[in-house]
A = this chain, B = another copy of it.
Amino acid sequence: MPIVDIHTHVYPPSFMELLRSRTTVPYVRTFPDAPDSSRLIILPGEDNPSTPSTSRGRPIGPEYYDIEKKIAFMDLHNISTSVISLANPWLDFLPAEEAADAARRINDEVNSICSQYPGRLYAFGTLPLSGPVDTVVSEIERLNGLKYMRGVIMGTSGLGSGLDDPRLDPIYAALQKHEQIIFLHPHYGLPSEVYGPRANEYGHVLPLALGFPMETTVAVTRMLLSGVWDRFQGLSVLIAHSGGTLPFLAGRIESCIQHDGHLKSAGKIEGRRSVWDVLKKNIYLDAVVYSEVGLKAAIDASGADRLLFGTDHPFFPPLEEDAKEWHSVTTNYAAISKAFEGAIQGSAEDVLGNNAVRILRLHD
């Protein structure tokens, strides 16, 4: 039985080089007071000079850039195949004139890494979204020729103003045409004021546990409201963290649309596709939700044939030094197993691997 991890990140060597060359977020630095360890600082809120350098961001080690560590992690957790993707913030921060070259270099590098472990590694490509739209479309077309690429990872920023930006239409059109799925992943979170004046007492919990899924849900809902899936009825999106909170809020979203006087006056309620229709036909969800409750809601919303196992490796390592298996992985394994106990439709095996093999055309 194949177990496929579709939510697993890498910073390939050339991207590490880029991060090490920078002094503003995102960057990787070895601070003078701790010369034996490096820190990865990717979120604006993590670059706080009042935070000691040894607890700024997160430690970064070879599990982020050495593919052998990924393979060892896969072996430890019985994962047969991983679909790797560049970790956030991707190339969003690059000057426009550097983006296209960087995307080509990184996509070629990642494709080459996959070729070293045939059948065990596939990848989502990276797009030069800070550059001109035509260079993005060109890179989508070029990805078609890279053997191990199975879609693209994308943040919520789009070309800088969100995924409901009509300037993205040529990009959506190209992705739809070439049957490349978008792996939609958060990075920017919510404005820090949301977390209140005591947020620094809670570590990274609020931005990671809440900011990420909320950012994701807002982005997807904006896509829906702007009619992306009315215009591109074949556009597929795999949403990180089981859709953020979309399965739970879909009913409220649909109800608020149906009760909105402004939308009604503008003639925007009739004829549009509902969130439920999009959830069943265009959206796929990963199974990275850390509970049976969340997983069942994701299954109910989108279908057991549309959920795909993931780990979020190398993020959320165990804090215990002597831990072997990662709790963040075993929690999701357990949730998948429990969610299908006595189930009439679907199976844990589908979520663990069969769905990914079918949807992403692995082993083609």
Q: Which residues of A contact B (CB under 8 A)?
A: 55, 58, 161-162, 164-165, 190-191, 193-198, 201-206, 208-210, 213-215, 217-218, 221-222, 225-226, 241-242, 245, 247-266, 289-294, 296-297, 300-301, 316-319, 327-328, 331, 335
Contacts and interface: CB of A to CB of B under 8 A. Distances in A.
A327 B259 CA distance: 9
Contact of A195 (B165, B205, B218, B252): B218
Given A204-B260, A253-B209, A222 B198 contact: yes
A194 B198 contact: no
A59 B206 CA distance: 36
Nearest to A276: B291
Contacts of A164: 196, 198
Contacts of A290: 251-252, 254-255
A279 to B, nearest CB: 9
Contacts of A294: 247-252, 297
Nearest to A255: B290
Given A55-B261, A253-B205, A262-B55, A292 B300 contact: yes
Nearest to A297: B297
17 contacts: A190-B214, A202-B222, A205-B225, A205-B260, A206-B221, A208-B256, A209-B249, A209-B257, A210-B214, A210-B218, A213-B245, A248-B289, A255-B331, A256-B316, A259-B316, A259-B319, A293-B300
A292 B252 CA distance: 11
A202 B228 CA distance: 14
Contacts of A254: 290-291
Contacts of A266: 201, 203
A257 B258 CA distance: 37
B222 A195 contact: yes
A261 B319 contact: yes
A293 B251 contact: yes
B197 A194 contact: no
B210 A217 contact: yes
Contacts of A292: 251, 300
A148 B54 CA distance: 56
A308 to B, nearest CB: 17
Contacts of A253: 205, 209-210
B296 A328 contact: no
Q: Of residues A209, A247, A251, A296, which shows the largest number of chain B Cβ atoms within 10 Å of its Cβ?
A: A209
Q: Of residues A193, A226, A289, A294, which shows the largest number of chain B Cβ atoms within 10 Å of its Cβ?
A: A294
Contact of A247 (B248, B263, B327): B248
Contacts of A289: 248, 251-252
Contacts of A316: 255-256, 259
Nearest to A163: B196
